[in-house]
Chain A
Amino acid sequence: MMDLQHGSLFLKTPTIVADTGYAVTAGSRIVIVTAGVRQQEGESRLNLVQRNVNIFKHIIPQIVKHSPNCILVVVSNPVDIMTYVTWKLSGLPKHRVIGSGCNLDSARFRYLMAEKLSVHPTSFHGWILGEHGDSSVPVWSGANVAGVNLQTLNPDIGTDQDKEGWKETHKMVVDSAYEVIKLKGYTNWAIGMSVADLTESLTKNLSRIHPVSTMVKGMYGINEDVYLSLPCVLNNSGVSSVINMTLNAEEVAKLKKSADTLWGIQKDLKDL
């Protein structure tokens, strides 16, 4: 807190407070939850579940007590499950509980694809949806630059038959976190920037669309209470709408499979 306060001259945030007691958080519009244990080298996000559920049982009720009207943004991994857990523990309506989800995966995808095409990431459009993790789904059918659909130029894109090996880019996205963790011990900069990007849409009421983790029951044949990333319109109420993305049969099947994996873990969680 002190280190940030000492930079106040260079900032436009006049009040920076910190405490172990949650009273200091009272009246927050947005609460970002990053607490919990993180992946060790080689460990998958799903391994962290039970440890983090126990931590959230302590955190979430206190947040809601002091900021009953807030929007909760969950970052802790495995984010889709932890967003579900947060929703259950908070009692907040589902549009006010959002997981950072695939906002970062999509950002990494856009960065890597743009590098290959020698354009800026903001000029390459591509969405990664579903689970933030090993089974995320790259929607190749939507990948485009200036509206020119890449799959139309190369129908094999994203398949094993593709001579250009574009599928590798998605694999790099999935491996990204593991690789950075192996090199520097953790990741922080990119996730931090992606969370700030979401916060901007929420606080400035932008109604921009982001791939974030939201409650998807009833969509794409999913019948359980699971959180997965879909393109969501974010404004100052939280998730105001979800875009009905056109997915092919294979992409829908992958989403359903993620949903099943996540529900398999969630149904065993105690006392939510």
Chain B
Amino acid sequence: MATVKEQLIEHVMKDEVSIPCGKVTVVGVGAVGMACAISILTKELTDELALVDVIEDKLKGEMMDLQHGGLFLRTPKIVADKDYSCTANSKVVVVTAGARQQEGESRLNLVQRNVNIFKFIIPNIVKYSPNCIILVVSNPVDVLTYVAWKLSGFPRNRVIGSGCNLDSARFRYLMGEKLNLHPSSCHGWVIGEHGDSSVPVWSGVNVAGVSLKNLNPGMGTDEDKENWKEVHKQVVESAYEVIKLKGYTSWAIGMSVADLVESIMKNLRKVHPVSTMVQGMHGVKDEVFLSIPCVLSSSGLSDVVKMTLKSDEEEQLRKSADTLWGIQKELKL
């Protein structure tokens, strides 16, 4: 007797291998990877999601839990495997794998451990998705984006670090709280290193085009009675504070990654502060990755915005670049 499926459904097309058109892979199913996954799924950015990790039980459990939500999603295929073949033909690969900061630990401390992990991951990604865009999230993100770029051999438009997209989002949230406005109406850019030495560009901070620094020339300095400098300090300390309270951060970084993936998948050409190769800009002489405003599209990072920075802001960027290069030149890649 014919099966229920055969009785019910008549297959009418010649069987073709269906190539996913907007596949996204997330490498690493820890808290950050899964937060990226759920944000990408609920924003309906892809028709296929692949998860990769080394811990097989956890990986399978996470995949099943997402699949069980299939009824509520618009991503019909969710796959997971230790083997990178499941990631084949990805458009974007989000790398969250690696060790994370312990309480009180700085991001730069994680370098060598994570370089070793990347030496396994990056070639595998490239093997199965030679045309993908790699989005690095693992910390220290600027150094590891450089590492991913070197190990992959990709052109610089296809290796992007999540960088200061989150720092700027936190800055805009805190600014919004101070001004009683929604973050999307508060404009401010945090650039440079994603970490302790990020640079808030006070001259650009505005609401509806009104420069706040024009209203308050002391903004961002120690003399400022309103102490706006504290807003940036809170941004720098955010991660440490959340880690101290709940052990790790996940939600905000997940949402910020989905925001970047959206711009790429939908070819939006939105400008985001993400980590890119800045050699030759702002007086930076070495091959380092730092966050500056970049145009994201389906080709990846196609253009950068040339910000007019104050000399002390450029000095800070160069100092970050020096710190990062100091670490990078010691790495064995």
Q: What are the residues of chain A within 8 A of B176 when measuring CB–CB?
A: 8
Contact B72 A9 (CB under 8 A): no
- Once A9-B169, A107-B71, A197-B72 are accepted as A-B contacts, the answer to whether A153 and B61 lie under 8 Å apart by CB is no
Q: Residue B3 at the A interface, CB < 8 A?
A: yes
Contact B249 A3 (CB under 8 A): yes
Q: How large is the interface on A (under 10, 10 to 19, 20 to 34, 35 or more residues)?
A: 35 or more
Q: Mark A10-31, 1 if CB is under 8 A from B, else 0.
A: 1100100000000000000000
| Contacts A/B (CB < 8 Å), 17 sampled | A7-B169, A7-B252, A7-B255, A9-B172, A118-B5, A121-B70, A154-B4, A163-B1, A166-B4, A176-B68, A180-B64, A181-B61, A184-B61, A189-B65, A189-B69, A192-B69, A193-B69
Q: Residue B9 at the A interface, CB < 8 A?
A: yes
Within 8 Å by CB of A196, from B68, B72, B255, lies B72
Contact B173 A5 (CB under 8 A): yes
Q: What are the residues of chain B within 8 A of A196 when measuring CB–CB?
A: 72
Q: What are the residues of chain B within 8 A of A179 when measuring CB–CB?
A: 61, 64
Q: Mark B230-271, 1 if CB is under 8 A from A, else 0.
A: 000000001001100110011110111011000000000000
- Once A2-B238, A3-B250, A7-B256 are accepted as A-B contacts, the answer to whether A190 and B69 lie under 8 Å apart by CB is yes
Which single residue of chain A is at the shortest CB-CB distance from B6?
A: A153
Q: Which of A10, A181, A183, A192 has the most CB of B within 10 A?
A: A10
Contact B71 A117 (CB under 8 A): no
Q: Mark B141-170, 1 if CB is under 8 A from A, else 0.
A: 000000000000000000000000010011
Q: Residue B57 at the A interface, CB < 8 A?
A: yes
Interface residues, chain B, with chain A CB atoms under 8 Å away: 1, 3-5, 7-9, 34, 38-39, 42, 57-58, 60-62, 64-73, 76, 166, 169-170, 172-173, 176, 182-184, 238, 241-242, 245-246, 249-252, 254-256, 258-259
Partner-contacting stretch, out of A49-57, A74-82, A108-116: A108-116
The complex places the Cα of A9 from the Cα of B181 at a distance, in Å, of 11
Q: Residue A217 at the B interface, CB < 8 A?
A: no
Q: Which of B3, B249, B258 has the most CB of A within 10 A?
A: B3
Interface residues of A in 195-240 (CB under 8 A from B): 196-197
Which single residue of chain A is at the shortest CB-CB distance from B37?
A: A189
Contact B9 A189 (CB under 8 A): no
The complex places the Cα of A121 from the Cα of B67 at a distance, in Å, of 10
Which single residue of chain A is at the shortest CB-CB distance from B31?
A: A3
Which single residue of chain B is at the shortest CB-CB distance from A120?
A: B76
Q: What are the residues of chain B within 8 A of A184 when measuring CB–CB?
A: 57-58, 60-62, 65
Interface residues, chain A, with chain B CB atoms under 8 Å away: 2-11, 14, 104, 107-108, 110-111, 114, 116-122, 145, 148, 150, 153-154, 157, 163-164, 166, 176, 179-185, 187-190, 192-194, 196-197
Q: What are the residues of chain A within 8 A of B65 when measuring CB–CB?
A: 180, 184, 187-190
Which single residue of chain A is at the shortest CB-CB distance from B241?
A: A2
The complex places the Cα of A176 from the Cα of B176 at a distance, in Å, of 43
Which single residue of chain B is at the shortest CB-CB distance from A124?
A: B71
Count of A-B contacts judged by CB separation below 8 Å: 141
- Shortest CB-to-CB span from B148 to chain A, Å, is 24
Residues of A contacting B: mostly? helix
Contact B255 A183 (CB under 8 A): no
Which single residue of chain A is at the shortest CB-CB distance from B65?
A: A189
The complex places the Cα of A216 from the Cα of B218 at a distance, in Å, of 67
Contact A183 B61 (CB under 8 A): yes
Give the 5 A-B residue pairs with the shortest CB-CB distance, closest first.
Answer: A184-B61, A183-B61, A6-B252, A190-B68, A7-B255
Within 8 Å by CB of A108, from B7, B58, B68, B259, lies B68
Q: What are the residues of chain B within 8 A of A14 when measuring CB–CB?
A: 182
Contact B8 A110 (CB under 8 A): no
Q: What are the residues of chain B within 8 A of A190 when measuring CB–CB?
A: 65-69
The complex places the Cα of A145 from the Cα of B7 at a distance, in Å, of 12
- Once A183-B61, A184-B61, A190-B68 are accepted as A-B contacts, the answer to whether A9 and B184 lie under 8 Å apart by CB is yes
Q: What are the residues of chain B within 8 A of A104 when measuring CB–CB?
A: 68
The complex places the Cα of A145 from the Cα of B5 at a distance, in Å, of 10
Within 8 Å by CB of B38, from A110, A120, A183, A189, lies A189
Contact B71 A6 (CB under 8 A): no
The complex places the Cα of A176 from the Cα of B68 at a distance, in Å, of 9
The complex places the Cα of A176 from the Cα of B66 at a distance, in Å, of 12
